[in-house]
Chain A
Amino acid sequence: MPRAEIEALISTAARMRQVGERRIKKVPTLRGRLVVSLFFENSTRTRTSFELAAKRLSADTLSFNVSTSSTAKGETLMDTARNIHAMQPDCIVIRHASAGAPALLARSFPFSVINAGDGINEHPSQALLDMLTMSDHWGALDGRTVAIVGDVQHSRVARSNIFGLATMGARVVVAGPGTMCRRELAALPVTRRHTIDEVVGEADAIMMLRIQRERLGKAMLPSAREYAAFYGLDLDRLQRARPEVLVMHPGPINRGVEIGAEVADGGRSVILDQVTNGIAVRMALLYHLLGREGPVDEG
């Protein structure tokens, strides 16, 4: 995504946020449009965030719960999409375990497709809301240093942020266990460090990634306690950070594992701002994708 598009979305999102502060938290912009959310992986906050964004713009929303739908009976992604297409949606918000599934739908159908996370590939709306949160504090992102700590290798949040932040002129440093922060990352525009202590001091923002507990106790990670000791952001480590550092996390957080409770709830944490900004960024995405083109009336 080019820089001008990211800037337009961030600026629109900042305006959209004001809608949430009104008495009536709803504008009529997308009245009569249908936004379908199709989540093949569990998600509470991303799905509800998109749905709330659509509702605030007065679009109709329909949520397919895939575990109870025909997919569980063996229907393919394309057949599911054909059936949804027959319902004449304007936009599908999709999360899928396979990288490229949203791109496949976008190529195959006339409706707009928003990627709400595809495998270990990308999660663009998360990166946009993270960049909105940073730009609230800094203005331009140029020249800033953002540390991403944790399972960078398997994190679509990290990948989208790395691409987005590089486009916006920020520097990204990553740190994590060797199994989660491998040498292949050198292909991306990042600087790789081995320990969290190396990145804490240089960062303007520290983004902690969620450790997927299903990976714990297996080959990648011995235990939650060990992970917390080597890669967790606790108060001791935060004291070595810049005083104005932003502490971020895409949620849901594992308290006491990748982030200490007192850090997550502390004064440098912007984790709940990220949630609020998530709705605004998704409103901006829907607005730019679904707004009908036409001449501007001058009256």
Chain B
Amino acid sequence: MNVVWTREQLDEGVKRLASQLVTTLVGVPRWALVGIRDGGVPLADELADEVERLGARRPDRGDVDITLYRDDLYTGLEKPVLGDTDLPFPVTGCGIVLVDDVLFTGRTVRAAMGEVWDFGRPDFIKLVVLVDRGHRELPVAADLVALSLHTRKSDRVTVDWDRREVRVEPGAG
């Protein structure tokens, strides 16, 4: 297992994303950070803190659980599979910044956009990710990326928020 990003790099990466966000969204009256469950939630929390630290107004926060919007629905009674979707602000007229830890095929982002749309008509949707690992299967691109990785499709990329590191586990393929 390879640690490709350590604590310092991750801290630095989050700060850089926050500062780029503030620059990108200058003049936007109302925008919100929306974490994609579960991986995007800690990053969205940290970005909200950082944005405030940079002197900008703290953005609204929400989270989406895309389980009901998946195109590869997996169910089984052995585990409760649904998480909460919580968008506690009017989506219509708001700029939505979707946040995820790892961007891979793009299917999760597509599902998340579909879900946000069912809550209202946002002014725009942007995408911020910590890691872009490639292998897109849909025409989806992130607006802001902290770390781009060349991976094999079978690799497993993990953002560990407790140990604050990014790891790549080589896959079998």
Give me the interface of A with B, judged by CB distance under 8 Å.
Answer: 4-5, 7-9, 11-12, 15-16, 18-19, 22-24, 26-29, 57, 287-288, 291-299
Contacts and interface: CB of A to CB of B under 8 A. Distances in A.
Given A26-B118, A27-B118, A29-B68, A298 B74 contact: no
Contacts of A295: 72, 74
Interface residues of B, number: 34
A296 B104 CA distance: 13
Contacts of B82: 11-12, 15-16
Contact of B73 (A5, A8, A16, A29): A29
A291 B84 contact: no
A8 B68 contact: no
B89 interface: no
Interface in B90-110: 102-108
Interface in B115-131: 115, 118-120
B75 interface: yes
A292 B120 CA distance: 28
A7 B77 CA distance: 9
A299 B77 contact: no
Interface in B60-84: 65, 68-84
B36 to A, nearest CB: 11
Contacts of A296: 72, 74
A235 B106 CA distance: 59
A48 B43 CA distance: 42
Contact of B69 (A5, A7, A27, A287): A27
Contact of A11 (B71, B80, B103): B80
